[in-house]
Chain A
């Protein structure tokens, strides 16, 4: 099934055969093709190349075209500070520096970097017709904060009429931007409004809900899907976010996934997230990433859940970590192995003293359990078949990692995947079931 169709099923809360995976590749795409964040976000060619590379490496079901929450702000007069490793930061707030709200104009397809993103969207649409393309817009509250600065928090109380007027304008900007992105070929509009994590549910309902709901209604009227992204400590607002009727809400590690699942599903809305960005995907290793992903998959379940990182991936996120997540998404056995490995951090590798015998070849097969894992079963059978002719010169051991000892043996032999066959302690066959002749050849080589 293609990625878009799979995501649509998740949005509609239908049971899926495999949980969809949407890596939020932003400036990390620049890293994949060797350009810095600024060059990447300023060039449609770089965006297309970077996202293309990410699609090749991570086999996603959906992917954002450009993860950049400064596009609208820049057009509306905010100054940006560019960086080589991060998206730019907004460093000035025009409405706090004398500009009038009435002087601000809605953006068009020719303004600022919108043409760059639209061009990249059209190109990626042509190349990947079956993949869900996410078009990102800055959520109205975050955009209002870009325009007015932190004064907006006090204006909620001191001048609510002005905040309403500003939010109405920001929602119009978002709707216009969404329309341009949908027309260029996006399938999903993600309204990214991280700053709402800083306000309470009542302020949210008063100042955010009426406006952001209009954007979601608009996307629905175009027969497309929407997602509401928030990050930070926003647990208090999950329920009111759902009441705005997006098709999906996506959160980061600051909010427990099971809480979001319960709240969103009760409201009939799909949900996504929330793999740990920094401590695991950026700074952890492949096994950490797999464990994190399997935890999310198990908590999220196959109805209405989309696996994603908590926010856009840091530029230097190791490719291997994200590929480890990809492997897990597509491979039920890899998921089972990871679950078994959950306890491995407290274990020591098994001692191999006395394990090998002079004049004999010892074949160790690490399996999940050949009785319940088909590839494991075939590998064990293939090795046993190939060993018969060698008689007692070859000893075949199966180590099931469902047992603690199996995991310890896996660690001792340095095995990463299951099933894996080792001959005299050396990894020979990983995951694939070798032909009988290949196994015989490897055993003969070990005899000499």
Chain B
């Protein structure tokens, strides 16, 4: 494999954003995701390969470490930040169709709930794993999800909730999305939610951590 892409994977895994970034200490002074992505593209590496062989393996490794309690939110956010820095260089290739993302994921915290930390983490991890993410923010009702679905047919919808009181809205929104767009896959997550609840309300997936939703998406789009 291309040595540069290998290095890029390491930058993503360890959250090395650019040369100036002090973190992680063991990579101090070295090029980061920003410089290496630019360099790879300048040297003629295919944009699709930069994504699937450079960025995504790094994000996947950090996702697995997160699931295994080896790293926590701060480290994952550093990886996501390194990832988004690299994505800036790839954007023109996505826009022109020269590189393709794996699919589209629409996410939002459900109506009545303003908590966004968990939702943001999931959005970053999913994006880092090669998906286009439409983040609808917090306090989102059915109509907004459906509008986003209209613009992105075939997208998977993710509903997040932190409050026990908004679980009822999660149920209603899931049912309304399923009624309006029966083939849409709906995934749910958040502190009060569990597998049993997910099944009860007719959702297609419950994920207890961001890596799990990535794996679910991979099974549906691969």
Which listed segment binds A: B16-24, B44-52, B152-160, B170-178?
B16-24
The answer to whether B73 and A198 have CB atoms under 8 Å apart is yes
Nearest CB in chain A to that of B75: its residue: A200
How far, in whole Å, are A242 and B21 apart by their CA atoms in the complex? 33
The answer to whether A278 and B77 have CB atoms under 8 Å apart is no
The answer to whether B115 and A89 have CB atoms under 8 Å apart is yes
Minimum CB–CB distance from A115 to chain B (whole Å) comes to 26
The answer to whether A81 has its CB under 8 Å from any CB of chain B is yes
Chain A residues within an 8 Å CB radius of B77: 150, 153-154
The answer to whether B201 has its CB under 8 Å from any CB of chain A is no
CB within 8 Å for A91 and B120 given contacts A85-B165, A156-B74, A314-B165: no
The answer to whether B74 and A153 have CB atoms under 8 Å apart is yes
The answer to whether B194 and A158 have CB atoms under 8 Å apart is no
How far, in whole Å, are A83 and B139 apart by their CA atoms in the complex? 12
- Chain B contact residues: helix, strand, loop or mixed: loop
Interface size of B by CB at 8 A reads 27
The answer to whether A153 and B73 have CB atoms under 8 Å apart is yes
The answer to whether B192 has its CB under 8 Å from any CB of chain A is yes
Question: Which residues of B (158-188) have their CB < 8 Å from a CB of A?
Answer: 163-165, 167
The answer to whether B73 and A157 have CB atoms under 8 Å apart is no
Interface residues of A toward B: which range?
20 to 34
The answer to whether B112 has its CB under 8 Å from any CB of chain A is yes
The answer to whether A108 has its CB under 8 Å from any CB of chain B is no
Counting from the closest, the 6 A-B pairs by CB-CB distance are: A157-B23, A198-B73, A153-B74, A200-B72, A89-B114, A85-B165
Residues of chain B at the chain A interface (Cβ within 8 Å): 15, 21-24, 69, 71-75, 77-78, 81, 112, 114-115, 117, 120, 163-165, 167, 191-192, 194, 196
11 A–B contacts from the bound complex (CB under 8 Å): A81-B114, A153-B73, A158-B22, A158-B23, A198-B72, A200-B72, A203-B74, A279-B194, A282-B164, A315-B165, A316-B165
Task: List 20 extra interface pairs beyond A83-B165, A157-B24, A157-B74, CB under 8 A.
Answer: A85-B165, A150-B77, A150-B117, A153-B73, A153-B77, A154-B77, A154-B78, A154-B81, A156-B74, A157-B15, A157-B22, A158-B22, A198-B117, A200-B71, A232-B191, A235-B69, A236-B69, A236-B72, A279-B194, A316-B165
